[in-house]
Structures are given as structure tokens and as C-alpha cells.
């Protein structure tokens, strides 16, 4: 049988498996399977449970809805989850013994982040509540909505994926599973996120920003709330971003992930410990030049969950993920500060759950030729075995392109790391066009993971070159801050060095047939590249940035992101913002450019593409703008299936036209 490469429309047949959760005794693992309903062209997510003793997997939820966040009760008898079957996500509970799901909440703004109490009697969660109201106050809506002006007096008045913000704030609530009684724990015009319960069930840890000047004092702190007295204590110093507070099983420690914003948004996240006995707060990994957590850039999985730190029962250590040199790996850390690899390899671990007593785990793993499956893994012995085979039937008929790692010197001698993917039907006697792909962020990391866009292009006969230029995570603190204040400088040189290395090393490449594409920061860099060189025959800029002066005022993060990343603002250094704006160099562009943008993108608003498009068309240059109605900055990753498919097809067809 002749195998074909991955087709863009295979998106409708591929399934995603995410968020594995082991039961307390390790007998079961629950997970989420997401697919696309071809008729309705909508995502469907259902919960599945695998029983290890019988090696049987059973579907626990059904229907054409989204079910997510499966969480076992500590006694192992129940599984809480979220479902949008009635509209907004509400909280449900299923019994291990069987029966229908019990709907616990019916809240106007839904529920999120369910966390069981240690005694399995209550669940902590969050819900949005209107300013000045409480959980139980009903807001009367007029029978007929009348149009009214909306008034904003905060600089944070919109957010990508949420739109223009209503006057509501995320608050913490506890619900009694048996009676349905609720207790609102927090209030005020601040957002709070739940994280964990103390082992005795008397306190909860949560995160938020309680600063009166919170739009400008950009921090996240950790708080401890005593449930009975309702007294709150802040345990972090309001110096940066701290999250994921979790008690050790013996209650001695609270582990935290975060940083003190030493390099603003380019700072590596580290591991901290708070001692509940003497209230000391120390960083365990201050000398470890590694990013804690999963920061890989990918376009396939929806609903992945970074597990944070997972304590072992002896309270002496924890497991967690790190992002390093294009891989996402599992590490073990001790309370003494020693860090040990538990699972390394050329792969992307995008999900992790452990049995804290036996050190057995279930991992979600993806590679460039494996969209993703669950694996059992013994963290002590290193035994790895595949548990699910979610896409095997389709993949048997497809030829996927491997990602070959490469490294090369940039113009200043700095070593840069990346990958090459040959065409799916590669013939060494032929010559092929090359597509340079550039990730967003910029503080993210291309990884050894499945990328649907890449595979669809290799199936069309393109070679894919993707790299981690300076500014990327995975190569230490100096490297990740290497593009700050220098967008379009050495990061541009790194990318051009990658192209030079590829065409000089691989004789099957046609150096006259080069293309470039990227999204977000990658869109900025695509715009920058076509304004500074004509060596590319085609370019596609996705959800781009073209003008830092306007981005400062129209992006939901513009005012601080621009100051952090470009090191300038519209008041004191507009010339610097303009110097780093691709729009300044639009007169130089000769490369045919396709601009793709979601119409509801509030992170990099569509006006960024519109400005660049207009500048090019005013000069009668080859440019096409494609907008995606209703889509946000996530259009190519979690956008509606039909438009997500069209997004990929637009890229494919543009390159086909010019290469």
C-alpha cells in the first residue's frame, strides 16, 4: 500500500488525548479524548477511564459536548469533571460504582478548576461573580436587552479569548458534594485562582494580585486562607509571578513555581519552597539554568495541562516537567534542592500524573511523528509502555516526516539549535523548496513534538526548517533574554544563519525556492524578514505584529509587553518602537506576502495585519489579507475546526502558487 503524507483535512480524523489523572490507589487512570464532529464541525471531548487490573478502557461521558478536568476524589470513589452540556462549563460528579453524573453547579458564569478536599466531601472551584455582588445574588436581566454604552476606566479592559471585559471577577467557592451548599471564600474586584488544600483540610492555597494598583503592579502572589476564620495570609513577597502552590503531604512545605521578574517576561520560572513552620521562603533552583514547566510551541493538542509540582508521599520530593533543548522531560526534585532526570529523550511530555506512593506514572507523550498517546512509566525503574493507540488506524495509511536535529553557528559564533524535516516522499535525486518556520512568544520553544502544519507541508513536497533563535526558552537565562531590546537584530541573524546552514549543507535543497512563515512573534519576524531581504520567494505572516507604536495601545498586553520586550514606550522612545517596527521597512518588501489573522485577536489585533497590508497594496505589491471571523489569537491552535483547516490550506496553497 502506498502511503500518503499528512493531509490538512486529516485534522478532522486525528484525535487528541490529554490530562491523564491517576486514581489515588493507582488502579485507574482517567483522561480526556478530543475529536471533531465532521457533521457539525465542532470539537467533542469525552472522558475515558482505563482499569489497569483488567486492561480495559471505558468511555464515561458521551454526547457532542466538551467534558474536561477529570479529578478523582481522595477516597477514589468519585470523579469530578467539567461539562458544557448545558451551555457554560458546570461542575459534575460521577461515582465509580456507576450511575448518572450528578450536576453540582448551575452558575451564570459557570465553574472552573475543581479541587477536592482531603476528606472527599467538598470541592473547591472558581467562578466569575459581578463586582459588588455575591454568589447567591441573582442579577435580573431585562426581558429585552437594550443597547447601552459600555464604560471602561481600567487599562485592562479587554483580553484575547474573552473580548471586552465585563465587570466580573474570578472568585473562590467551596461546594458540599452531598448537600450542594456553597460558601464563597473571596470577594472584591480582583481575580483569584484556586490551587490546593492543606492536608488537614482547614486551609486552601490560591493565587492572585491584591494590589490596589494591580493593572500596573504586575505580580501574582500566593495566599493561604483559613476556611473557618476566613483570615488570609500572603506568603510571597509581591516581587514577581508565583503560582501552583501545593502542600507537601505532611504539611511542612508549600511548593511554588515562579520568578521575581528579574528579566521581566523573559525570566526563567524556578522552584520555591515555603516552610509552614518558620515561614521561610527560599528558591531551590536559583543556580539551575533551566525553565521549569512546559513552554513548547505546538498546534495540535487542545486542553493540555501542565501538572506543576507533584509531591511524593514521603514529603521529601516531587516530580515536574522542564523545557530543555527542544525537549520536555520529567525531573525529580528533593526538598534539599537536588534535581534528577527521571525521563529524558527526544520527545514532548505534555501530561503527567503520578502515584505518590509507588512512583508509577502515566505520561502523555508526543514526537514529531506521533501526535500523542498515553504511556505508563515507572519513575524508579524506567520501564515505559504505551497505553493508548488513539490514532493508529489513520497513521497506518500516512507517511510522516521525521525531524532531524541540527546545530550551527550564528553570525557571532553562538550555537543555534533546530530541526530539518524532509518531504514525506523524499527522493535524494530531486531538489526541494525550503520553508523556514518561526515560533511565537518569542519566549517559547520549538520542541520534538507533532506539528500539524509542518506535516501537511512536508506532504506537499516542502522541506521544513524550524529553529530556536535567541529569545527562545530551553537554552538558559542568557539565551532567552537575548532578543530583548533587539527584536530584528541577532534573532534575525540566527534565522538567516539557519537558512545559510541548510542550503549549504543539504544538496537536495533548491536555494532559489525559499519561503518563510510564522505566527505572533513569528509573524513579526516574517514581516521583518521580507523588509530586510528578498531571498524568499513567498511569505505567510500569521497573527502578526507590524507596528509597535500602535501595538502599545491596541493589544491586551501592549503597554507592558512593549516596554518589557522592545525596552521602549510611546512617550520617551517612540523612535525606538518605530525602528523595530516592520512597517517602517514596508517599502523594501518584494516578497509576495499572505497575511492571516483572526478578527477577534486581541493579543495581536488584526489592525497590525491591516496596516502592513495597506502599506504594501498602496505600493501595488503582491499581498493578500485573509481574516477569520470570530477567531482569536488561537485561530491555528484551538480555533473552530473549519477555519483552522482553512488556515492551514491557505498557507499550503500560497506556497504552491509561488514555489
Instruction: Look at residues 374, 400, 426 and tell me which one is the last residue of a structural domain.
Output: 400
pLDDT, tens only, 399-411: 999 999 999 999 9
The predicted structure's pLDDT at residue 142? 64
pTM of the model: 0.96
Rounded (10°) angle between helices 521-530 and 490-505: 70
Domain-embedded: residue 519: yes
Distance of alpha carbon 328 from alpha carbon 311, whole angstroms: 19
Reply yes or no on whether 532 is catalytic: no
Q: What is the mean pLDDT of residues 385-396?
A: 97
Q: What is the mean pLDDT of residues 130-141?
A: 81
Catalytic residue among 122, 410, 520, 546: 520
Question: Do 457 and 540 contact (CB within 8 A), yes or no?
Answer: no
Domain-embedded: residue 283: no
Domain-embedded: residue 16: no
For the cut 80, the answer to whether the pLDDT of residue 1 exceeds it is: no
pLDDT bin (cut points 50, 70, 90) of residue 145 is confident
Are 378 and 523 in the same domain? no
CA 327 to chain centre: 15
The predicted structure's pLDDT at residue 139? 64
Are 495 and 592 in the same domain? yes
Distance of alpha carbon 382 from alpha carbon 331, whole angstroms: 12
Reply yes or no on whether 573 is catalytic: no
Question: Do 576 and 562 contact (CB within 8 A), yes or no?
Answer: no
Q: Which residue has the cell 521583518?
A: 528
**Pairing state between β 221-226 and 203-208:** antiparallel
Q: What is the CATH number of the domain that holds 423?
A: 3.40.50.1820
Domain-embedded: residue 427: yes
Instruction: Look at residues 400, 431, 457 and tell me which one is the last residue of a structural domain.
Output: 400
Are 372 and 329 in the same domain? yes
Domain-embedded: residue 53: no
User: How many other CB atoms are there within 10 angstroms of residue 615's CB atom?
Assistant: 20
Q: What is the CATH number of the domain that holds 341?
A: 2.120.10.30
Distance of alpha carbon 269 from alpha carbon 282, whole angstroms: 14
Domain-embedded: residue 96: no
Are 352 and 298 in the same domain? yes
Distance of alpha carbon 369 from alpha carbon 101, whole angstroms: 37
pLDDT bin (cut points 50, 70, 90) of residue 369 is very high
Catalytic residue among 296, 633, 636, 638: 633
The predicted structure's pLDDT at residue 140? 66
Distance of alpha carbon 305 from alpha carbon 114, whole angstroms: 13
User: How many other CB atoms are there within 10 angstroms of residue 72's CB atom?
Assistant: 23
Supply the mean pLDDT for the chain. 96
Among residues of the chain, what percentage have pLDDT more than 70? 99
In three-state secondary structure terms, 611 is helix
Are 468 and 575 in the same domain? yes
Instruction: Look at residues 400, 432, 459 and tell me which one is the last residue of a structural domain.
Output: 400
> Environment class of residue 178 by beta-carbon count within 10 Å: exposed (0-12), middle (13-18) or buried (19+)?
exposed
Are 480 and 609 in the same domain? yes
Nearest Cα to Cα of residue 456 among 424, 499, 418: 424
Domain that holds residue 586: 409-658
The predicted structure's pLDDT at residue 137? 79
Amino acid at each position: 500500500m502506498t502511503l500518503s503524507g499528512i493531509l490538512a483535512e486529516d485534522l478532522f480524523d486525528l484525535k487528541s488525548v490529554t490530562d491523564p489523572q491517576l486514581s489515588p490507589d493507582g488502579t485507574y487512570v482517567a483522561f480526556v479524548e478530543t475529536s471533531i464532529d465532521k457533521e457539525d464541525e465542532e470539537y467533542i471531548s469525552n472522558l475515558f477511564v482505563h482499569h489497569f487490573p483488567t486492561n480495559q478502557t471505558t468511555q464515561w461521558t458521551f454526547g457532542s459536548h466538551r467534558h474536561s478536568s477529570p479529578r478523582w476524589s481522595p477516597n477514589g470513589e468519585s470523579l469530578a469533571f467539567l461539562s458544557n452540556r448545558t451551555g457554560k462549563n458546570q461542575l459534575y460528579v460521577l461515582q465509580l460504582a456507576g450511575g448518572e453524573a450528578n450536576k453540582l453547579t448551575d452558575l451564570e458564569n459557570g465553574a472552573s478548576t475543581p479541587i477536592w478536599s482531603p476528606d472527599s466531601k467538598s470541592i473547591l472551584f472558581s467562578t466569575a461573580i459581578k463586582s459588588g455582588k455575591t454568589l447567591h445574588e441573582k442579577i435580573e436581566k431585562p426581558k429585552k436587552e437594550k443597547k447601552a454604552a459600555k464604560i471602561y476606566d481600567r487599562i485592562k479592559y479587554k483580553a484575547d479569548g474573552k473580548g471586552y471585559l465585563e465587570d466580573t471577577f474570578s472568585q473562590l467557592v467551596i461546594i458540599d458534594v452531598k448537600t450542594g451548599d456553597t460558601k464563597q471564600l473571596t470577594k472584591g474586584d480582583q481575580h483569584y485562582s484556586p490551587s490546593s488544600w492543606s492536608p488537614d483540610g482547614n486551609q486552601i492555597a490560591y493565587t492572585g494580585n491584591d494590589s490596589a494598583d494591580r493593572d500596573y503592579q504586575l505580580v501574582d502572589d500566593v495566599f493561604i486562607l483559613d476556611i473557618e476564620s476566613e483570615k488570609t495570609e500572603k506568603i510571597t513577597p509581591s516581587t514577581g509571578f508565583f503560582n501552583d502552590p501545593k502542600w507537601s503531604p505532611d504539611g511542612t512545605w508549600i511548593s511554588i513555581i515562579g520568578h521575581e521578574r528579574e528579566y521581566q517576561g523573559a525570566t526563567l520560572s524556578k522552584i520555591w519552597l515555603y516552610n509552614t513552620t518558620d515561614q521561610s521562603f527560599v528558591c531551590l533552583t536559583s543556580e539551575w539554568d533551566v525553565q521549569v514547566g512546559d513552554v513548547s510551541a505546538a498546534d495540535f493538542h487542545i486542553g493540555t495541562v501542565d501538572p506543576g509540582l507533584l509531591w511524593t508521599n514521603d514529603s521529601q520530593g516531587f516530580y515536574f516537567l522542564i523545557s530543555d533543548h527542544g525537549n520536555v522531560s520529567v525531573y525529580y526534585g528533593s526538598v534539599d534542592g537536588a534535581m534528577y532526570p527521571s525521563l529524558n529523550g527526544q520527545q514532548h511530555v505534555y501530561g503527567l500524573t503520578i502515584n505518590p506512593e509507588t512512583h508509577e506514572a502515566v505520561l502523555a507523550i508526543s514526537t514529531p511523528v506521533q501526535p500523542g498517546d498515553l504511556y505508563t512509566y515507572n519513575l524508579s525503574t524506567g520501564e515505559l509502555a504505551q497505553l493508548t493507540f488513539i490514532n493508529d488506524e489513520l497513521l497506518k495509511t500516512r507517511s510522516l516526516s521525521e525531524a532531524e536535529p541540527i546545530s550551527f553557528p550564528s553570525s557571532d559564533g553562538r550555537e543555534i539549535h533546530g530541526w530539518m524535516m524532509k518531504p514525506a516522499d523524499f527522493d535524494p535525486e530531486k531538489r526541494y523548496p525550503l520553508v523556514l518556520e518561526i515560533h511565537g512568544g518569542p519566549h517559547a520553544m520549538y520542541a520534538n513534538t507533532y506539528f500539524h502544519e509542518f506535516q501537511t507541508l512536508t506532504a506537499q513536497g516542502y522541506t521544513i526548517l524550524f529553529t530556536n533563535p535567541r529569545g527562545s526558552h530551553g537554552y538558559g537565562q542568557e539565551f532567552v533574554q537575548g532578543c530583548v531590546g533587539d527584536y530584528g537584530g541577532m534573532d534575525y541573524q540566527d534565522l538567516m544563519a539557519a537558512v545559510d546552514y541548510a542550503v549549504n549543507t543539504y544538496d537536495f535543497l533548491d536555494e532559489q525556492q525559499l519561503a518563510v512563515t510564522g505566527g505572533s512573534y513569528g509573524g513579526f519576524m516574517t514581516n521583518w524578514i521580507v523588509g530586510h531581504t528578498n531571498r524568499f520567494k513567498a511569505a505567510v505572516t500569521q497573527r502578526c505584529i507590524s507596528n509597535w507604536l500602535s501595538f502599545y495601545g491596541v493589544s491586551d498586553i501592549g503597554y507592558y509587553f512593549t516596554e518589557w520586550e522592545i525596552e521602549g514606550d510611546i512617550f520617551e522612545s517612540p523612535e525606538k518602537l518605530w525602528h523595530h517596527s516592520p512597517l517602517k521597512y514596508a517599502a523594501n518588501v518584494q516578497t509576495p506576502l499572505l497575511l492571516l489573522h483572526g478578527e477577534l485577536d486581541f493579543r495581536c489585533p488584526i489592525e497590525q495585519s491591516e496596516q502592513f497590508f495597506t502599506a504594501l497594496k498602496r505600493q501595488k505589491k503582491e499581498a493578500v489579507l485573509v481574516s477569520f471571523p470570530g477567531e482569536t489569537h488561537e485561530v491555528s491552535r484551538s480555533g473552530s475546526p473549519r477555519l483552522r483547516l482553512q488556515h492551514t490550506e491557505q498557507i499550503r496553497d500560497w506556497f504552491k502558487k509561488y514555489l
